[in-house]
Chains A and B, each alone.
Chain A
């Protein structure tokens, strides 16, 4: 009997304890599937994360999907001293293989955004709520998925087209689509997004995807598709499609060339911008690690991480609109920074130019540099290998001025808010001029180039024709869009990279005599290599091992 009582006590204790639902511990840090896909605000938050497919200025030691500045150093306009993502030891060394693309590779990163977009698109239609809001979100995510494919097709050519989300028990086998199929899908999705976003008024907040941005990316996609890399037969229909797509953006009449200070295009919101991705200064990984810190000369305690090459500097013409190689330009290699295209001054920091606010550069002040703001790239100067913070000196002896806010004390306060340009009207002009040129409409091509050159202060109109005009179109694109992530793809689609990217990149060594006279010595800084296969990136070997997908040429 006593035993039974005891057993009773024991059991009741046990039940008492276990009644407290000790095993029903819901996660405290997350939303459930049901809640996210029944609430448009949560769905919007999920869509916001997919914006990470877009390039940004946010610095991540070169590791993120955002190859924004890094793309410049993978091509002849830039030099990355620190070899982020293997940019120099692999990419421009011509030894890229399916094994070593490292952080430069975007395959898995883009597909993870595509999976998220596919989840979103499979759920969004069933969420109750405001119809316009739902359509807007759908338009944004449709665009973002298309943008992911746009990046993939630009890097790899045709890729597996995945339009529905995977689950653990899905059939994972998907073949590579052709380049044409991939482009066709991207273009139709961009049209779809443009329609959804235009119909709903789009996201009005700066930084949101809009209908015009979808059309602008479509213009770039079709320009790429019409270019020699993908159009070896010079099919005129492809150029016509590219031209029409560019024209469609122009015909919106929503944007205009910025007529104020040229450098402000890249630091202030202005009517030329079609789409931007924002990064907020407060959330940089360190208070200092903003765009200014990354790009300023070492003597300002910047890192000169992405430095312009002599090759890019030489691409800027003179103020009278001529190439520096043209005898009529008046260019003097021993006075190289005089009378140059206004865009040179707006984009490049060179020896002897003024940079920064005298109030914030006390440590730079000397008898030669009374207010401290003159860049000193000459040997022994503050920004030279013999100066301050010598880990970081610019080996080309230039740094970028583009994107820089030069007014504030970046050493003592936090960084500036910054945007990365996804597209601006100047690009559409250049897209249009190029497509029109290949359609034989040279006058139209010249007309749009002149609009850009006039804005840069070059009054004389272009008269060039034929291959001269082609060269000019390419030079304008190199100069106007430098450091914006275009040239990496331009030299590939023009099929010129095996020439231009097999050249050394240059630096200038400036010696300053006692009397202050400077002499300029132009040297090769680094030989660059480009193998025929490098027109595309290799698909990572680990993916080939999983799937047996056909590898890109040159990488087997």
Chain B
């Protein structure tokens, strides 16, 4: 192997308690930057970058290839089915052509092995908890805070009553803690059967996963069912065929209100409104019955999304020794189907208002919602054909490995959408009971296609000198027909110095040493479709509908999707990598290190910063950007055994720093706001000297008109004696870290096993500013306690403010906090019971384990009640999860 390639085994992946595989690779693979932004069941995937950012207009996500088929979702595969996950980081990915530049993740599923059939069962029970929840103010603090924003909003008499807390009708509600619960169960069962003889090998498996939500009394729920059958058959001496069938059903049940609306409501609702009135009836919130405790339940209806993924693949491998030894033809075809079926049922719910003066309750049900049904079916079918002619042979010290292949992929998408409201009754949740008046029926369609000729020639001499030459000649539907084919070549080379005599004879503390280098030209076509065409689309945003006539009839209207760019082409990346692999201590210590340099050209971005707004154009992406991304990744693994104790220690580290070489920026943008010469990702913020503590500070500095003591002290960067957006400065750290690392510890002793994974990141910053969420947002305790008031001008934080405050609710370095952390990502303790205990029951292995995910975190954001991995500025989102789990593996 001569490229920068890293992988993780399936046995490591199953150690993670997280239901989503993307979370299991964080910290495991050098070069991979994975960040989890939410732990919401069914919506808990990590964003993955390979060696950081290279583009700022087009996509940055790697291509995922599962068992040879691109674009399959790997995050929901049964973890027990994964043989390994391999990441191609450098020019070794160039063979994926126009989709390779962001790196490639290859996922391989398990197959049967020759031998006795084995049955493996794994079952676990877990509890999910939220890693962090903000502590917010109580009723009297809320009233005090908002009185400071707008005097006399609340009377002192009322505040005093809430403060005294001895009047049962003056209570305080902590809405966030009412909406969430501490523990939410999670269950998973999986079973597999595998084995095979000389002619047939098989691997069958099934998985059931059931995740509840941390919303209290909520209908929110995620379930997943996976089945798989990978069969290999030897038809004749030279011909093998395989048939892989996998199917998955994902069931998501969500409340009708979106998670962000519910949490916005929970943070914006007055704490002095109770969840329930004295008579036990649920309160109506502040308007339209939007009490978030109700919104998470099934009372307002439901939003059910069922996703069915069917991924069949048939392949063959025909060895042709009768033509010439080492020659073979192989190929496969797949027809993936994904059906997403969504049904939303809205109905009014009971919620009461209470009139304090008359003591009467009134049901606000009529104003909560009207009944409606939405059905939304989306069907995607994708096909892949691959055929390969390979030649694999050794002549003395010369090893040749070559192939030529053709690949073709296409997909087709269609959506059917139907809506009816004013159902006959909310007793039957079926669309035919809705009113034809106001009904809506519509849909959408899309398709894509790519074709490629590819090949590789690998040669090594005596296992000392290794070289590989590869190319892909790739065509993409997404570019004009006269300009849609591109050639993506790559060269990699390696030298196993340790095989040289001079080395072998002189250096014996090094067992193996290989140096590698690679170069490749890679492409990325991850950009909106059809930008080369002038396209007119029907207006589908209701806010821009047009009506004519005495009956207000809807008139069709067309919009130009964007100004065409006939010259569009793919992004190109000059990808270079050098690295070495070295082994010490008789193979116990393995170290791999790589340095990379990616020069991305023709980055697809809009000239949205320089073209005047008065042109009125809606801009297409153009090939205008250029960036350089450099960094290192490194891993060291030490394995040893001492008597019955077997242990391993692994560390890995990734550092990637990008630099913009050209980006569209306005002609007159000030130097301190330019991103050219700096990393791609940044925050644009006002710099501050903290907050104003004294009148002298205020009077003696340039400030916004109307600024007061307790406001942010914004620096007049441009020195023009007034605070304008010109004063904002770019800060080149974002929520995506530039440095990530992992530490792996494992030990096994007489059936007892311990595996620990710590993962961390540094050089990342996140804005934390809850008040930007809204005008009624309840401030967190830390902001309340530390706020500036007339009595406490020497405070740490600004005076009381909300989202309408243009002095403090602004992007400022004051609110920018380090997102560095070191967290105990995963721990597993297991015990394999001695065979004699259960062998008479026909059981061949029995192992019990307990594990945890996100158990501990050392970071800077704990004081704000925010998980350091968030990228949500106001913190009003479904937080990350911590999971405790116990389970059993049984082998038969």
Contacts and interface: CB of A to CB of B under 8 A. Distances in A.
Interface in A382-440: 386, 388-392, 409, 411-414, 417
A288 B804 contact: no
A514 to B, nearest CB: 11
A6 B552 contact: no
A349 B362 CA distance: 23
A288 B288 contact: yes
B444 A23 contact: no
Contact of B542 (A86, A115, A208, A284): A284
A338 interface: no
A31 B612 contact: no
A133 interface: no
Nearest to A176: B614
Given A48-B557, A88-B804, A94-B705, 4 more contacts: A14-B453, A29-B537, A58-B542, A203-B548
A90 B706 CA distance: 12
A94 B806 CA distance: 12
A94 B704 CA distance: 12
B450 interface: yes
B706 A30 contact: no
| Residue of B324, B355, B366, B560 with highest tally of chain A CB at under 10 A | B560
B535 A32 contact: yes
B564 to A, nearest CB: 8
A89 B806 contact: yes
B615 A49 contact: no
Given A3-B324, A366-B358, A283 B542 contact: yes
Contacts of B270: 390
A6 B533 contact: no
Given A108-B613, A363-B364, A389-B287, A23 B544 contact: no
B445 A29 contact: yes
A391 B477 contact: no
A174 B612 CA distance: 9
A185 interface: no
B382 to A, nearest CB: 12
Interface in B335-394: 353, 355-358, 360, 362-364, 366-367, 370, 372, 385, 387, 389
Interface stretch (A253-261, A274-282, A339-347, A446-454): A274-282
Contacts of B451: 17-18, 22-23
Contacts of B510: none
B358 A100 contact: no
B666 A115 contact: no
B548 A27 contact: no
Interface string B421-456: 110000000000000011000001111111101000
Interface residues of B, number: 108
A205 B558 contact: no
Given A42-B558, A414-B421, A207 B668 contact: no
Interface in A1-41: 2-3, 6-7, 9-10, 13-14, 17-18, 20, 22-25, 27-33, 36
A107 B615 CA distance: 11
Contacts of B508: none
B323 A3 contact: yes
Contacts of B704: 95
A541 B726 contact: yes
A301 B546 contact: no
A493 interface: no
A48 B547 CA distance: 9
A298 B323 CA distance: 86
Interface stretch (A241-249, A460-468, A543-551): A543-551
A49 B539 contact: yes
Contact of B804 (A89, A166, A301): A89
A253 B666 CA distance: 53
B557 A27 contact: no
A427 B776 CA distance: 40
Given A6-B329, A32-B535, A45 B545 contact: no
Interface in B529-558: 529-530, 533-539, 542-550, 552-558
B418 to A, nearest CB: 15
Contact of B548 (A205, A303, A542): A205
B548 A172 contact: no
A23 B448 CA distance: 7
B484 interface: yes
A113 interface: yes
Interface string B544-579: 111111101111111111011100000000000000
B406 interface: yes
A49 B558 contact: yes
B706 A93 contact: yes
B546 A25 contact: no
Given A166-B615, A288-B288, A95 B706 contact: yes
A413 B421 CA distance: 10
A160 B437 CA distance: 46
B370 A52 contact: no
A391 B776 contact: yes
Contacts of B724: 97-99, 541
B238 to A, nearest CB: 13
Contact of B287 (A116, A208, A298, A386): A298
Given A49-B539, A113-B616, A389-B286, A544 B558 contact: no
A83 B329 CA distance: 69
Given A97-B724, A166-B615, A278-B547, A46 B558 contact: yes
A287 B616 CA distance: 32
B322 interface: yes
Given A24-B481, A282-B438, A391-B287, A166 B806 contact: no
B475 interface: yes
A13 B406 contact: yes
A115 B616 contact: yes
B548 A206 contact: yes
A84 B529 CA distance: 35
Contact of A207 (B284, B406, B547): B547
Contacts of B555: 45, 48
A352 interface: no
Contacts of B552: 207, 278-281, 417
B804 A10 contact: no
B288 A389 contact: yes
B372 A287 contact: yes
B476 A23 contact: yes
A234 interface: no
A116 B446 contact: no
B668 A544 contact: yes
Contacts of B609: 542, 546
Interface in B712-768: 724-726
Contacts of A414: 370, 421-422, 438
Contacts of B669: 545
A542 B705 contact: no
A199 B857 CA distance: 76
A128 interface: no
Minimum-distance CB pairs A-B, first 10: A115-B616, A48-B557, A28-B445, A30-B535, A99-B725, A391-B286, A301-B367, A545-B666, A33-B534, A111-B616
A36 B558 contact: yes
B408 interface: yes
A248 to B, nearest CB: 26
Contacts of B613: 107-108, 111, 540, 542-543, 546
A363 to B, nearest CB: 4
B775 interface: yes
B472 to A, nearest CB: 14
Contacts of B385: 17
A95 B548 contact: no
Contacts of B544: 49, 52, 64
Nearest to B618: A112
A381 B394 CA distance: 94
A13 B615 contact: no
Interface string A301-333: 101000000000000000000000000000000
B452 to A, nearest CB: 10
B667 interface: yes
A167 interface: yes
